[in-house]
């Protein structure tokens, strides 16, 4: 038993020794929007069909245990049109957030964190209706301000990191004093991320 304990402690010391201090993170993220709390089978299904997948990038500056940064998710989507002259309609969706994170274990390879964010999401119809003389058929712009809370876990190794996080959107409304429709943002967001640490 003492030999196993010594081996585990030695392994943890070696892993900790190769973990570099990361003060800046930059990476890629793949996230999905879910109406209900994320479950393992729902997550796998969403990543398999990719219809609900929002790719993007993120950055974060970490000072002591506190990190701040931004996440930018977006995708182009194509839908069959109900208009006889147009085969497909094209949309650009985006979800952007200013993020604040608290990293609980800064000197350990496994780093749990809590996250809060606030920013905007939206959709714009980018179909070329003018080419078909149907400019009046363009969908209105959807735009929302949202707030989110959640947490995650990151694995840090030398100049890289990978992890996953789950977020709950507690607020989603159009900007005050505007005529925009609210973007149909779902209640939960689950994401895998990975990138470089400097």
State the SS3 of the chain.
CHHHHHHHHHHHHHHHHHCCCCCEEEEEEEEEEECCCCCHHHHHHHHHHCCCEEEEEEEEEEECCEEEEEEEEEEEEEEECCCCCCCEEEEEEEEEEEEEEEECCCCCCEEEEEEEEEEEEEEEECCCHHHHCCHHHCCCCEEEEEEEEEEEEEEEECCEEEEEEEEEEEEEECCCCCCCECCCCCCEEEEEEEEEEC
Predicted pLDDT at 191: 94
Which is it for the CA torsion 173, 34, 149, 97, positive or negative?
negative
Predicted pLDDT at 10: 53
Predicted pLDDT at 85: 72
* Nearest Cα to Cα of residue 19 among 103, 102, 107: 107
What does the alpha-carbon distance between residue 15 and residue 127 come to, in Å, rounded to a whole number?
A: 52
Residue 177 C-alpha from the chain's centroid: 28
Residue-level pLDDT, tens digit, the chain, 198 residues = 566 566 655 555 444 444 455 799 999 999 888 877 666 666 666 555 555 789 999 999 999 999 999 999 999 888 777 776 777 778 899 999 999 999 998 888 899 999 999 999 999 887 777 666 666 656 678 999 999 999 999 998 888 999 999 999 999 999 998 888 899 898 999 999 999 998
Predicted pLDDT at 81: 74
Predicted pLDDT at 86: 72
Cβ atoms of 5 and 13 closer than 8 Å: no
Predicted pLDDT at 18: 45
Query: pTM for this one?
Result: 0.78
């Amino acid at each position: 038993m003492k030999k196993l304990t010594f081996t585990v402690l030695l392994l943890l010391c070696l892993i900790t020794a190769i973990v570099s201090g990361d003060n800046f993170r930059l990476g890629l993220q793949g996230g999905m929007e879910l109406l209900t709390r994320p479950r393992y089978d729902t997550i796998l299904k969403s990543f398999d069909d990719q219809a609900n997948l929002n790719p993007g990038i993120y950055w974060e500056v970490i000072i002591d245990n506190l990190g701040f940064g931004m996440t930018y998710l977006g995708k182009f989507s194509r839908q069959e049109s109900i208009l006889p002259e147009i085969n497909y309609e094209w949309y650009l969706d985006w979800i952007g957030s200013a993020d604040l994170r608290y990293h609980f274990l800064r000197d350990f390879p496994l780093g749990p964190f809590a996250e809060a964010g606030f920013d905007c999401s939206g959709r714009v119809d980018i179909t070329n209706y003018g080419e078909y003389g149907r400019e009046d058929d363009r969908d209105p712009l959807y735009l929302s301000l949202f707030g989110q809370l959640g947490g995650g876990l990151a694995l840090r190794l030398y100049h890289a990191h990978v992890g996953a996080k789950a977020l709950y959107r507690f607020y989603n409304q159009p900007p005050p004093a505007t005529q925009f429709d609210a973007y149909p943002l779902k209640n939960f967001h689950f994401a895998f991320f990975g990138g470089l640490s400097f």
